[in-house]
Amino acid sequence: MDRVRRPSAKLEGLTPYDPKYLPADAMLSANENPRDVSEELRQKIEAAVREVAFNRYPDPLANDLRDAIAEANGLDREHVLVGNGGDELLFNTALAWGGPGRTFLNLPPTFSVYAANARLTDTDVLDIPRLADQDFAIDEEAVLRAVSGPDSQVDFTIIASPNNPTGLRARMEFLQELLAATDALVMVDEAYFEFSRQTMRPHLEANKNLVILRTFSKAFSLAGVRVGYILGHPDVIREYLKVRQPYSVDAVSQAIARVIYQNRAEFEPGINAIIAERERLTGALGALPGVHAYPSHANWVLFSVPEAARVWQGLYDAGILVRDFSTAPGLEGTLRVTVGTPEENDAFLNALRKEI
Ligand code: PMP
């Protein structure tokens, strides 16, 4: 056969997720940790991986890792589910709470994967745009109005806090109000919470509709390994168990993540350095003519600059890869720079000064 039937109609017009990950001297585009895992930890990881039986399927639920995460959060393992990166758990959220006839409340501009997952699962999307003139703060009143009352169609929402790619975290008081106002599932995506020092963990017990998403990809330097997790009510976690791929977290990743989690205190100085550099970058960017730096609680800074697409190319030609949002809806004219090492940040600022 030299032909193949058309795929599902819902793929029409879809483009595959493209992180635009190009080789560069300074990789400042994907919100990764600029510091890789230390040599000492690598040795511990090697020892742990040596114990892995490659011929056996992994523990489907990664229970050892689950227990470690649960204990650190003052919870039982039934409150925790580990996934193949946060991305898998985001997709599982759409599978379990979305679907035909169901509605997802989205707060764009935000992580584009949320809307893509809704589309793939035939979930309706209700958009409540963030406030562009208030540094992309959430339109809290509009959100509360949309979810309140028995007529609300919203089945679930995902709120990134801090919000990627804009930077602000959500206000805790607002999130509490939202959780109280609706029985929709409210996922608070805390992929970057280590840089904002704010978590909804204290509100888990009181709110069955709260799920918290976390990842090993950012503060813990494991973007290449693919481990994330959610914290939630055991009844909610049980629903996720119905849609997940049984062996999505391989045994090697489980072993690596266990070592990293046991030694997570080692990452604190690096996190503090990123927070300090974020503030330095924000200040330096804001001092440049024509540049607006959006306040960030995360490990990046979004900024607007005249001729952003040309500036992106100039930076890239100088060996510095940042993320180009210059034509993204609601983000026109902006670029996002991930906080790197002080040297990388200096190289970025020097290259940028030559472009404007
Ligand atoms: N949530 C947000 C807001 C993100 O930016 C990312 C990473 N780009 C993720 C979740 C998922 O990260 P991972 O799959 O690496 O855990």
pLDDT digits (tens, 9 = 90+) for 255-271: 999 999 999 999 999 99
Are 136 and 85 contacting, i.e. CB atoms less than 8 angstroms apart? Answer: no
pLDDT of residue 331: 98
pLDDT of residue 21: 85
Q: Average of pLDDT values for 166-174?
A: 98
- Distance (Å, whole) CA 6 – CA 153: 33
299-329 burial, b at 16+ Cβ within 10 Å, e below that, comes to: bbbbbbbeebeebbebbbebebbbbbbbebe
Are 326 and 320 contacting, i.e. CB atoms less than 8 angstroms apart? Answer: no
Ligand 1, atom 9, lies closest to the CA of 86
- Strand-pairing partners, residue 26, are 320
For 320, the token pair is 């510095």
133-159: pLDDT as tens digits: 999 999 999 999 999 878 899 999 999
∠ CA 181-182-185, nearest 5°, is: 140
Fold of 9-37+267-355: Aspartate Aminotransferase, domain 1 (3.90.1150)
Residue 227 has pLDDT above 90, yes or no: yes
Are 187 and 158 contacting, i.e. CB atoms less than 8 angstroms apart? Answer: yes
pLDDT of residue 151: 86
Percentage of the chain lying above the pLDDT 70 cut: 100
Enumerate the domain spans of the chain.
Answer: 9-37+267-355, 41-264
Are 337 and 322 contacting, i.e. CB atoms less than 8 angstroms apart? Answer: yes
pLDDT of residue 236: 98
276-294: pLDDT as tens digits: 999 999 999 999 999 999 9
Are 243 and 87 contacting, i.e. CB atoms less than 8 angstroms apart? Answer: no
Running DSSP on this structure, what letter comes out for residue 259? H
Among 3.20.19.10, 1.20.140.160, 3.40.640.10, 3.30.70.100, name the CATH number for the domain at 41-264. Answer: 3.40.640.10
**Distance from Cα 16 to the centre of ligand 1, integer Å:** 16
267-284 burial, b at 16+ Cβ within 10 Å, e below that, comes to: beebbeebbebbeebbeb
Give the mutation target among 27, 106, 113 for probing the ligand 1 site: most ligand atoms within 8 A of CB: 113
Ligand 1, atom 4, lies closest to the CA of 191
Q: Average of pLDDT values for 297-313?
A: 98
Ligand 1 binding residues, C-beta < 6 A: 31, 85-87, 111, 160, 164, 189, 191, 215, 217, 223, 228
- Distance (Å, whole) CA 270 – CA 32: 12
**Distance from Cα 117 to the centre of ligand 1, integer Å:** 13
Q: Average of pLDDT values for 313-334?
A: 97
45-100: pLDDT as tens digits: 999 999 999 999 999 999 999 999 999 999 999 999 999 999 999 999 999 999 99
Look at the block and give the residue holding tokens 């990842």: 215
Q: 95 vs 90, 98, 99, 160, 188, CA distance in Å?
A: 9, 6, 7, 19, 17
**Element (DSSP H or E) covering residue 187:** strand 185-189
pLDDT of residue 318: 97
Backbone angles phi, psi at 87, to 5 degrees: -55, -45
∠ CA 162-165-166, nearest 5°, is: 70
- Strand-pairing partners, residue 304, are 292, 334
Determine the atom of ligand 1 nearest the C-alpha atom of 165.
5
**Distance from Cα 332 to the centre of ligand 1, integer Å:** 22
pLDDT of residue 19: 82
2-25: pLDDT as tens digits: 999 999 998 888 889 888 889 999
